[in-house]
Structure 1
Amino acid sequence: MPEHHSGRARRIPPTLAAGLISLLAVLALLVTLPGTATAGGVKRPVHPDRDWMGVTIRAHEDGAGPSAAAQLTASVEGVDVSSHNGSVSWSSLWNSGVRFAYAKATEGTSYTNPYFTQQYNGSYDRGMIRGAYHFALPDNSSGTSQANYFADHGGGWSRDGRTLPGVLDMEYNPYGDTCYDMSASELVRWIGDFVDQYRYRTGRDAVIYTSTTWWKKCTGNNGGFGSVNPLWIPRYSSSAGELPYGWDFHTIWQYTDSGPTVGDHNRFNGSLSRLQALANG
């Protein structure tokens, strides 16, 4: 005999209901984990251990070309490292000719590099001139708060003759919109807030790391920083190429992200004595 159904909805078995509640709880947790959008729409980092100076450059620009190392024998060799490099053999780098190093210290206002002490102090102990850099997330928090976080977590400066001014790493957003869903004027204001606060905290003008292509696209090629903030330009080709507006020369050139030794490789645009002068302030 065919079964007759009433219009009443069937009850969900208790075990199934409990499972659904658990699943919903997990989903609720996931939307609040770092890297997802919160109720206020603020993005938080999900992979800061995979964000390092220049990580987004090759993916967005065509500057990849032959290494220029052989053409730059008059400049000072350096590297930049982050947590993805782990514990670094500074003796090996020194023996290969590296004389300065920058280590990633922070990202946003919630991440610190777990290898920072080994990298920052290790390079110094081996005799190198060292510095720290901050990976900017302008849509995460204010420039002032990120400058404070950087200064509080390794980005400070001391006049010991071997500590370089901190670096603000401005590049393509690794988590979303290229320009962080911000207008050119908003980004220029954010960068200005960062460098002003960094100078207030340390007495030094921060170095700005950025590519010409990103700077043109996201700041409108603003020329307001070139007379004060040293430029670190990434371009993996035979020359540093065109510079962003406002800078007449570059201070550091990141010329390859695939050198024979650990880290991205860079050249200081001058002699060792000029690099020491930059450290001295």
Structure 2
Amino acid sequence: MTALALVAALLGAPKAAAFSISSPQGVDVASWQHPGGAAINWREVSASGHRFAFVKATEGIGYVNPFFVADSKQAQNAGMLIGSYHMARPNSSATAQAAEYAAALATQPQPSLPPVLDIEYAENLGPAQLSAWVREFVTEIERLTGRKPIIYTYRYFWQENMANTSEFSDYPLWLAAYENRPPSDIPGGWNHMTFWQRADNGVVPGMVTVSDVNLFNGSEQQLNDFSAGIDVNLGEVLTAGIDLDAIGGRVAELEALGNNNRELVGAILAVAAGALAIGALVAVAQSQGIDLGPATELVDRVRGLIASGDLPVPDLQTMLQTGEYTIGDLLILLENAQHFAEQIG
């Protein structure tokens, strides 16, 4: 333990009051943000107020993001704190995936944020099998890197596919929750988020496509301390509202995305069953507060998933039956289904 870490441990790290306009914001990127090989202007990203960047490193076995090293170096050179993540594919060895991720991390400039396990695909594994897989991965990546990893997930996946286990609540949480206020219904026994992915359609200067945008639950100094391995007490569930427009990065529909998704899910299932014309889905989405453009994008995604046979009907039926998930949770599920069908990127 360093002298600085010892002082923090003895005195107690300050708590973050809430996500606020001073909360460091950041992006996470993969090859999707490089359509046609287009570059990201990381100096523009940094100048727009983004303080950290998670760059996809690996997925499953045998895939390394071809932009991982360049994005990491350029983001760091632009003054940003960098991180990385591994996209889990639980149908193959967790130990082997951790090893490939650790090897990729050895090529990333330092210092960096802790490694991240992105777990949002079940690949036909049940909750007990998935928990065992996650346990194996986080244990191995911590052994290989000496750092406690962050777990990235979203509510529907953790509650339904992981049976809402609280086994991993000692690991930092990065939660995807597309809505206008920090969510209070955090799964898995966690009492706070370390990072909050608040939207997937942020318009960020320096990028030719939209990007996932995130907030850190604390101050910039606490973010630096967290990256350095110093214990940071980020407090408990945060419910205070914040002005997301003031934080930067235009994001549409967040108020609507926090609404219950039951009516929209029911309409999608009706379309899949042939009981509703897909064109009518636009009107249903608009009735839920989604503007015409995003509503049309949603319908196009549903149409494509139906055509390819990849619409996640059992998951949609679960969402309809439970009635406790948001439109944002639905969009994450549909986006994941599309990406899974398209494989890696």
Same fold per TM (> 0.5)? Answer: yes
Alignment partner of 1:85 out of 12, 33, 46? 33
Superposition map of 1:70-219 within 5 A: 72-86=20-34, 87-139=39-91, 141-154=92-105, 162-171=111-120, 173=121, 179-219=122-162
Q: Return the offset for 1:72.
A: 3.3
Taking a change above 3 Å as real, the CA distance of residues 201 and 250 of structure 1, as seen in their structure-2 partners, is same
Taking a change above 3 Å as real, the CA distance of residues 106 and 155 of structure 1, as seen in their structure-2 partners, is farther
Percent identity, aligned pairs only, is 36
Residue 253 in 1 paired to residue 196 in 2? yes
- SS of equivalent residue, structure 1 residue 264: strand
Deviations 1:79-137, CA, capped at 9 Å, x for gaps: 00001112211111111000100000100011111111111111111111101100110
Paired with 1:111 and 1:157, the residues of 2 have a C-alpha distance of: 16
Q: In the alignment, residue 144 of structure 1 is paired with which amino acid?
A: T
The structure number with the bigger radius of gyration is 1
Alignment partner of 1:279 out of 227, 230, 240? 227
TM-score (normalised: structure 2): 0.56
Aligned 8 A contact 1:133 1:155 in 2: no
TM-score (normalised: structure 1): 0.69
Residue 267 in 1 paired to residue 215 in 2? yes
Q: In the alignment, residue 235 of structure 1 is paired with which amino acid?
A: A
Paired with 1:99 and 1:109, the residues of 2 have a C-alpha distance of: 30
Paired with 1:212 and 1:202, the residues of 2 have a C-alpha distance of: 28
Q: In the alignment, residue 165 of structure 1 is paired with which amino acid?
A: P
Aligned 8 A contact 1:156 1:202 in 2: no
- Structure 1: which 4+ aligned runs deviate by more than 4 Å? 155-158
RMSD: 1.6
Q: Return the offset for 1:164.
A: 0.3
Q: In the alignment, residue 205 of structure 1 is paired with which amino acid?
A: K
Q: In the alignment, residue 50 of structure 2 is paired with which amino acid?
A: V
Per residue, is there more helix in 1 or in 2? 2
Taking a change above 3 Å as real, the CA distance of residues 199 and 265 of structure 1, as seen in their structure-2 partners, is same
Query: Any unmatched runs of 5+ in structure 2?
Result: 1-18, 230-345
Q: In the alignment, residue 167 of structure 1 is paired with which amino acid?
A: V
Q: In the alignment, residue 117 of structure 2 is paired with which amino acid?
A: L
Q: Return the offset for 1:218.
A: 0.7
What is aligned with 2:174? 232
Q: In the alignment, residue 185 of structure 1 is paired with which amino acid?
A: A
- SS of equivalent residue, structure 1 residue 165: coil
